Structure 1
Amino acid sequence: MRVIDRDEVARLLDHARGIALVRAAMIALAQGHSSQLLRGILDLGGGDAFGVMPGALDGAGFGAKIVSVFPAAAATGRSHQGVIVLFDRDSGAPACVVDAGEVTAIRTACASAVATDALARADATTLAILGSGEQAWHHALALRHVRPLSRIALWGRDGGKARELAERVSAELGVPTRVFDRVRDATRDADIVCTVTAASEPILAFDDVAAGTHVNAVGSSRAGPVEIDPRFVSRARFIPDHREGVLAQGAEFLRAKQLGLASDDDVGPDIGRVLAGTAAGRRDAREVTVYKSLGSIVQDLACAAWLRRAVAEN
């Protein structure tokens, strides 16, 4: 059984490859060529959690991601740490163990890029990122593959950290990046908004975005922390990564339902159906669209299976 560590994942799995793998995995999930159970989450208190995500994907195998989520750890390392265990479909034997932190960092941003390609306006070029951690960097890296970014607006609670990230993005990606002190100033002229924070209460209001904006809501991956205004659920075209999961564990939807602002009918079809062309995504140029990302194990399994093959070939 091969162990594929963080450095090997980073060396082999780039964002362009990740986008292709995630796109295929989400279509497979929507078409019944894969399966996944609702994630099991153990609340450890203080915002920390332990999660288990089991699933199977045709052509990849089956297995689970076992991960800890410690938001405070992001200040000195990474908030998501763990392993993906992939089993061989033919023999039932464990085939490889992969560093889950690095895969999660890459595939989460790639999933947002896939959704952006499907849901954002074709002429979208301006990006706002709310957050200044690992996911903010990876989202800048990934989204440039699906839209020609002309500028990036950045907001983060830690102004110094946000400025450091802005300098890095400008220098390494060649995209002019500016830090804003207020969320609304960062988002009001953006075609695409990505929320990648550890916020427990909404940081993005519905009125903070213009008509025609696409939002990737990424930071909250379980019931509890609410990162965006619950009004987005009913007022926008609200597309989940996996509808069953968002109905049960999507914090913004659950908050909106509790407040009487939305019902199950306001949650649209799986992104995989939109990608496959069997369901509508954006319906007009002025519609606000939202991709609600909880994270799907089939994305991790697709990446792990590809990495297993790539390592064998090298």
Structure 2
Amino acid sequence: MSTLPYLDAATLERLVPPGRAVDVLEDALRAGLDPETTPQRSVVDVPAGQLLLMPAAAGRYAGVKAATVAPANPGRGLPRIQGTYLLLDGETLAPLAAMDGIALTSLRTPAVSALAVRHLAGPGARRLVVYGSGPQAWGHVAALREVAPVAEVTVVGRDPGRARALAGHCRSLGLDARSLTSAQEGETHEAVAWADLVACCTTAREPLFPGKLARDGATVVAVGSHEPGARELDGDLVARATVVVEARAAAMEEAGDLIVPIRQGTITSGHLAGNLADLIGGRVVTGPGPRVFKGTGMAWEDLVVAAAAYEAWT
């Protein structure tokens, strides 16, 4: 009996660099993948947090990610999110490979954001503000550099040491970088006001900054939450912005950044300019204000990147 291959974090990073991940996601959408048809994630609350199940099928493959969210884990020195991905043959549903689910998430989420930025941001997007200092923040710096001429990075984090570490990493890449703490409100607000790109990669449940600060033409991505009551962006920003989501159906179930202002009457569901397939297909018309991409993470994204890794491995 053969052992099921396991692709660990280092292998995934080697097989599918950030730029490659962006390209395979775009290729899948251009080939006709419809984000609206992907099964939505199932979430089961347990005493320690949540169990998540994310299945998808497209083309030659099917797959499922089993992930866990344990909010107390960082205090134990453990990851908040853990998981495993199982890739299957699309015709026989025979298992092909297992993969590090967290490494896969850390790769595909920034790649999805970067794909949106590729089509939303202006050509001179040099100044980036990153909220957060965890794996997603690191991943977004790497992925956004693949699609925009990022030269300056401001890292805003609750943990000064982790924020400094990410800023130091950015400097090692040749970027002009600094770190701020969330408490340095004046400086963080000034950074947002000058930013071309803002990446929100946090576990915040309330808006991170006043939306009025984001200038017209700036692009803001928010990926920190898939809960309808949590948000990183306020209603003012969302109302001013051209808003793109991964899929309308998923956003209306999980994107608190949109659900809360809809409930408050700030916007209606008709405010959404389109999903990622619409954006890639040139069917999104950007207005004069900021541009917002709200991502909650979807199973088709895991499948596309996992399939690319498997094909590169074989």
* TM value normalised by structure 2: 0.91
Contact 2:36 2:249 in 1 (8 A): no
State the partner residue of 1:146.
147
Give a deviation string over 1:19-51, Cα, whole Å, max 9, x none.
11222234456x5499411111123367x3221
Measured in 2, the distance between the counterparts of 1:148 and 1:225 equals 31
Measured in 2, the distance between the counterparts of 1:212 and 1:270 equals 19
Distance 1:198 1:32, change over 3 A: closer
State the partner residue of 1:282.
286
Once the two structures are aligned, what percentage of the paired residues are identical? 29
Structure 1, unmatched stretches of 5+, are none
User: Residue 268 of structure 1 aligns to a residue in which SS?
Assistant: strand
Q: Does 1:272 align with 2:274?
A: no
Give a deviation string over 1:111-147, Cα, whole Å, max 9, x none.
1111111001122111110111111111111111111
Residue 233 of structure 1 deviates from its aligned partner by 2.8
State the partner residue of 1:194.
199
Contact 1:27 1:276 in 2 (8 A): yes
Residue 16 of structure 1 deviates from its aligned partner by 1.2
Give a deviation string over 1:222-256, Cα, whole Å, max 9, x none.
32321111333322111101111001211111111
Give matches, 1:18-167, under 5 Å.
18-28=21-31, 31-32=33-34, 35-44=37-46, 48-59=49-60, 61-74=61-74, 76-167=77-168
Give a deviation string over 1:187-230, Cα, whole Å, max 9, x none.
11000000001111111221121121100011112323211113
* TM value normalised by structure 1: 0.91
Of stretches 207-216 and 230-239 in structure 1, the one that deviates more from structure 2 is 230-239
Measured in 1, the distance between the counterparts of 2:17 and 2:204 equals 28
Contact 1:34 1:56 in 2 (8 A): no
Distance 1:28 1:217, change over 3 A: farther
Residue 265 of structure 1 deviates from its aligned partner by 0.4
State the partner residue of 1:294.
296
Structure 2, unmatched stretches of 5+, are none
**Aligned pairs, number:** 305
Distance 1:38 1:142, change over 3 A: same
Residue 107 of structure 1 deviates from its aligned partner by 0.9
Residue 151 of structure 1 deviates from its aligned partner by 0.6
Contact 2:214 2:237 in 1 (8 A): no
Runs of 4+ in structure 1 over 6 Å off: none
Give a deviation string over 1:253-295, Cα, whole Å, max 9, x none.
1111121112110122111211122x12434xx4211001111
State the partner residue of 2:18.
15
Aligned CA RMSD, in angstroms, stands at 1.9
Give a deviation string over 1:164-183, Cα, whole Å, max 9, x none.
21112111x11010123223
Distance 1:110 1:260, change over 3 A: same
Contact 1:25 1:298 in 2 (8 A): no
Letter in 2 for 1:107: R
User: Residue 223 of structure 1 aligns to a residue in which SS?
Assistant: coil
Residue 160 of structure 1 deviates from its aligned partner by 2.3
